[in-house]
Structure 1
């Protein structure tokens, strides 16, 4: 006995395949937008030229030493956004940073402006591991 798969299930599988095939580039573009919003000094070589030359997320790794030292002097919104971004790069470090910022759950992102929320949403939708 053969079982046919409903067309909507096949369409859903195809849509997910397309999404995940495009996810690495979409993640990189969201990461790059986030680095620009947060400040290029925290990512890669810390220069605008480095941001423009970047061809992968690896070129824009967060500068963990610099970030951890500066976390106490940044505004609460800057701390939250940078810590959330770091959590995609290194969940343990990012989680510790978020905890230092007083982050208790996803609703705390409600304090971020729309531009930063969109970056976090796009990073979440397209995350495929670091």
Structure 2
């Protein structure tokens, strides 16, 4: 295990996933990739372009999140780098994993109820179902 991806969005669950991924990367002397996806699919699915200010604000927040996560990983001695991408979160994470020969994906659980999962699905569920590499879902 040399390349670990953690899906990150600054949330409490993502923070737990980051902590787990840092520990895993440290244990295996692996490289950690922190990936935050800027999800504008709601706008695109409705045919409405997001306001430029909203897009810039989301990009700035994502870059700050990733920077903070990288600093945390590096403070623990982990070789880490981060990236922000725009798109559908699950698809973007899966594509990054494929493009970068990731060995394991670590993601936080969103904590949806059974009813919510039926209607909304979840990023973690889609990644678990479609990933070609092991996935760790941290609760």
TM-score, reference length from structure 1? 0.33
Q: Select the structure with the greater relative contact order (CA < 8 A; seq sep ≥ 6).
A: 2
Tell me which structure has the larger Cα radius of gyration: 1
Q: Which has the higher strand share?
A: 2
